Amino acid sequence: MSIEVRNLRKRFGDFTALDDVSLRFDQGELVALLGPSGCGKTTLLRIIAGLSRADSGDVLFDGNDASTRQPGDRQVGFVFQHYALFRHMSVFDNIAFGLQVKPRAQRPSKAEISRRVHALLQLVQLDWLADRFPSQLSGGQRQRIALARALAVEPRVLLLDEPFGALDAQVRKELRRWLRRLHDELQVTSIFVTHDQEEALEVSDRIVLMHQGQVMQQGTPQAVYQNPVSPFVYGFLGNVNRFDGVADRGRLHLGQATYRTADEASNAASNFIDAPEHAAVRDTPASAYVRPHELEIERYAHGRPGIAARLSRAWLSGGAARLELQQDEQPGLIEAELPLARFQALQLRQGEMLLLRPQQAHIFLHPMAPAQQLEK
Amino acid sequence: MSKSANRSDVWLKSGLLALALGFVLLCLLLPLALVFHQAFSKGLPAYLAALQEPAALSAIQLTLLAAVIAVPLNLMFGISASWAIARFDFRGKSLLIALIDLPFSVSPVIAGLIYVLVFGAQGWFGPWLNEHDIKIIFAIPGIVLATVFVTFPFVARELIPLMQAQGKDEEEAAILLGANGWQCFWHITLPGIRWGLLYGVLLCNARAMGEFGAVSVVSGHIRGYTNTLPLHAEILYNEYQFAASFAVASRLALLALVTLAARSLLQWFSHRDRAAPVPHEQYAHPASATPAGLDTAVNVDDRRSKTEASRRSLLSQAMAWLAAGVLDAAPRMDALPGAGSLPGVAESLAGSSNASTSRELHEHRSS
């Protein structure tokens, strides 16, 4: 089933949870609603499920208006953040619930219910837990039982609210992969809410990035990661360095700075980043966003172009070396990532002056005064 | 140095224990024993006779009638009020909560007087009621009204925190799975609150049958007509029929003991429902899961230790509840001027023994 929402608005008192949100989810897609807490992603999910009503706007299922349909008639499977398993029922009864409350005419026979519950338990690989109670299960098991329960009514849409939020890192990773495989098997349209960018990048076909009740950007994980449309998206998806300066005639000037190196007493350098796309711009404050692996690093040499910074710390992580650098007389750290071989060839020492050259940078002009330093 | 600290600890412990036990013995167990001793002081035939005389039978009937009306009313009100408060946000919610608590904060005697002022001969509706020959004050309706008033908060107060703690996720999940409102209530909400509900009903019933102050004001003490059991016990006592009075009182004490036992049983049940160890994360290797037998062994062990713990705490609750029961039952305690503070002591004891569950409402009750 495809889902479409049009111009959804929702306010809670003074707080705007959704501000004119329009989105489309295609049949069989696995979409991540990503954003910081309070961005409206859970509200959107609840409105699609029918648990809340939007102040204005439409929800369409397969092109038909769904706003008059009761939650129980929408054929949505919903997995709650804290699972919401019926605590006084066994795992079997939890999964069977959706079948047992059907009107008598549509209700499957007892044997049929039992068969379907066991099939679902096999699907989530927990057949041996049928007689347990929710309190006897671990977090990951509860999560999968909640999913099995939601699937029992053969929903045409699966909505998952922070499905891995309450689990520890190891289990989370396993479950992510498992959910992806399950989705590929079932091909049911699925939307999951998360604030974890890694989760969204890894699992989803498409990411919808939300902030302050609005959709900031949407696209495949790769497209969103590589071409963020705004500083916010850049800061939210992955680590990024930010360089503030002034854009003028195709260059972002980062200002004059004086550096002390071992061989020269002092040394003035002018740093800039090429910004050909802003060739027409004159004297406008702007920021460049550069990912750690997009910084090329070499030893400082007088006259060579690049941003001069001192190495304050370096460590190995996986197959790469991670560097923390500091510009003299500038607050904040710069993060860089080098292939291990390159790092070993350079033989860097702590405190050494280096030159950084962004291989790729996204430059955003400031609409007004420079905004606050982004986290990450 | 640690040795002396240990020794002073031991002294402190035994000192406190002796104090507590002494208090329990002197103020709770002794009076309880006395109630039964006095009741049987003229032998079993006299005891039975005291309970079978028409006035006593009528008192028992009236007490049961008041409880049979008050408890279901409370049940309905309690469920709907706590549902509304726990599940919805609306204007005046805090006012409603405050109103529910009102009977706890008002002295029962005042509660009775309110009804006299409203429905009595000199009250607002007095002349009109008189014209239409409807008797409320000094008649059975007044007793029922007063009983309903004083027992008003019991079920609601029990359920509100419980339902708030449980949240509405499970109900929403049920609705999304296609359950209608009634199925959701019957299969999800009610099982979730069943022990709390039963417990509230139990407390409500104990209070309805044991209520003295409010009922005393509106009853008019017409023997064989408007006397409830506590009132009957007091009248007998004032007439120096000690054995008969205590025979009636022993009935109420028995009610307290039964309530206590039922309450403990309820707690044991609800505890058993909740007691459940969480096994280790087994997701990564479902195949290497703990064999079922081993797992159960762990469960049983865990459960046993929990039962033992609850048994120990039960003892202290038993003491507190005996206090509440005895003081409710002993006729002269309420009748004596100035002795009204004694039930208060009992109630706060009952409260403190179980403060951790936040279930006790008794501390709210002022006598």
What is the dihedral sign for C-alpha B285, B287, B291, B295? positive
Q: Do B174 and A126 touch (CB under 8 A)?
A: no
| Of A51, A77, A86, Cβ closest to residue B188 | A86
Whether the pLDDT of residue B318 is over 80: the answer is: no
Return the pLDDT at A30: 93
Give yes or no for B169 touching A (CB within 8 A).
yes
- Interface test mutation site (partner B, options A69, A101, A174, max chain B beta carbons within 10 A): A101
Average pLDDT over residues A64-88: 87
Whether the pLDDT of residue B27 is over 80: the answer is: yes
> What interface predicted TM-score (ipTM) does this complex get?
0.79
Q: Which of B131, B106, B127 is nearest to B118 (CA)?
A: B127
C-beta neighbour count of A155 within 10 angstroms: 22
| Of A80, A136, A174, Cβ closest to residue B173 | A80
Q: Do B177 and A153 touch (CB under 8 A)?
A: yes
Q: Do A80 and B174 touch (CB under 8 A)?
A: no
Average pLDDT over residues A29-38: 90
Q: pTM for this one?
A: 0.70
**C-alpha to C-alpha distance for B331 and B212, rounded to whole angstroms:** 9
Higher-confidence position of B179 and A258: B179
Whether the pLDDT of residue B337 is over 50: the answer is: no
CA closest to B188 among chain A residues = A86
% pLDDT > 70, chain B: 72
Whether the pLDDT of residue B328 is over 60: the answer is: no
Residue ranges of alpha helices (H) inside A139-272 are 139-152, 169-186, 197-203, 221-226, 231-236
**C-alpha to C-alpha distance for A284 and A286, rounded to whole angstroms:** 6
How far away is chain A from the Cα of B180, in angstroms, using its nearest Cα? Answer: 8
Return the pLDDT at B309: 43
**C-alpha to C-alpha distance for B326 and B342, rounded to whole angstroms:** 11
A56-61: strand order across its sheet = A15-25, A3-12, A56-61, A64-65
The answer to whether A214 and A41 have CB atoms below 8 angstroms apart is no
**C-alpha to C-alpha distance for B167 and A84, rounded to whole angstroms:** 9
Q: Tokens 């000094």 map to which residue?
A: B138
| HSE-CB of B51 using CA atoms within 13 angstroms | 14
Close Cβ partners of B223 (under 8 Å, ≥ 6 residues apart):
B55, B232, B235
Q: Kindly provide the b/e burial profile for residues B164-187, where b requires at least 16 CB atoms within 10 angstroms of the residue's own CB.
A: eebebbbbbbbbbbbbeeebbeeb
Close Cβ partners of B180 (under 8 Å, ≥ 6 residues apart):
A72, A101
Whether the pLDDT of residue B341 is over 50: the answer is: no
% pLDDT > 90, chain A: 30
Token code pair at residue A31: 């979409």
Which amino acid does the sequence have at B90?
F
Q: Do B176 and A77 touch (CB under 8 A)?
A: yes
**C-alpha to C-alpha distance for A233 and B178, rounded to whole angstroms:** 38
How far away is chain B from the Cα of A153, in angstroms, using its nearest Cα? Answer: 7
What mean pLDDT is reported for chain B?
Answer: 73
Q: Are strands A189-194 and A30-34 parallel, antiparallel or unpaired?
A: parallel
Q: Do A149 and B177 touch (CB under 8 A)?
A: yes
**For A256-265, B95-104, B204-213, B262-271, which range has the lowest pLDDT when averaged over its residues?**
A256-265
Whether the pLDDT of residue B14 is over 70: the answer is: yes
Burial class (CB in 10 A: 0-12, 13-18, 19+), A315: exposed
| Of A101, A152, A171, Cβ closest to residue B283 | A171
Q: What is the pLDDT of residues B206-246, one digit of tens each?
A: 888 888 888 888 887 777 778 888 888 888 888 888 778 88
**Would you call B109 helix, strand, or coil by DSSP?**
helix
How far away is chain A from the Cα of B304, in angstroms, using its nearest Cα? Answer: 16
Full DSSP string of A179-214: HHHHHHHH--EEEEEES-HHHHHHH-SEEEEEETTE
Q: What is the pLDDT of residues A78-87, one digit of tens each?
A: 999 888 999 8
List CB contacts (< 8 A) between A140 and chain B.
281-283
Q: Kindly provide the b/e burial profile for residues A191-218, where b requires at least 16 CB atoms within 10 angstroms of the residue's own CB.
A: bbbbbbbebbbebbebbbbbbebebbbb
Rounded to 5°, angle at Cα A87 from A166 and B358: 90
Which amino acid does the sequence have at B78?
G
Return the pLDDT at B329: 41
The answer to whether A216 and A232 have CB atoms below 8 angstroms apart is yes
Banded pLDDT at B16 (limits 50, 70, 90): very high
Banded pLDDT at A150 (limits 50, 70, 90): very high
